[in-house]
Structure 1
Amino acid sequence: MNQKSELKQLAEQILHDPVMQKKLGDRVYELLRTELRQLQERSQGYGTRY
């Protein structure tokens, strides 16, 4: 089975399972929060260097 068909199968499982949908949504939210926090940390120092 190739990667594309495995991904399709996983997506179909998630579509039919509310618990998996919740877990996926929670994980995406967690990743976005982490990324936003890191962007804020990086951008805080740019204006104070000079």
Structure 2
Amino acid sequence: MALPYTIVLTIAGLAVVYFELLERTEWLYQPSLIEHHSATEHLDKSSTGNH
């Protein structure tokens, strides 16, 4: 009984990620609600001892 529910939610979740994630991320970048960063910035800081 739970298998159809699981399949439908999986498909719906993947569809939302595929079609909406990039657009919504850009929408959050515009008012500076989120900022872009990379893992190398954090690795450089941790290797120098500055936390």
Q: Structure 2 length normalisation: TM-score?
A: 0.41
Q: Structure 1 length normalisation: TM-score?
A: 0.42
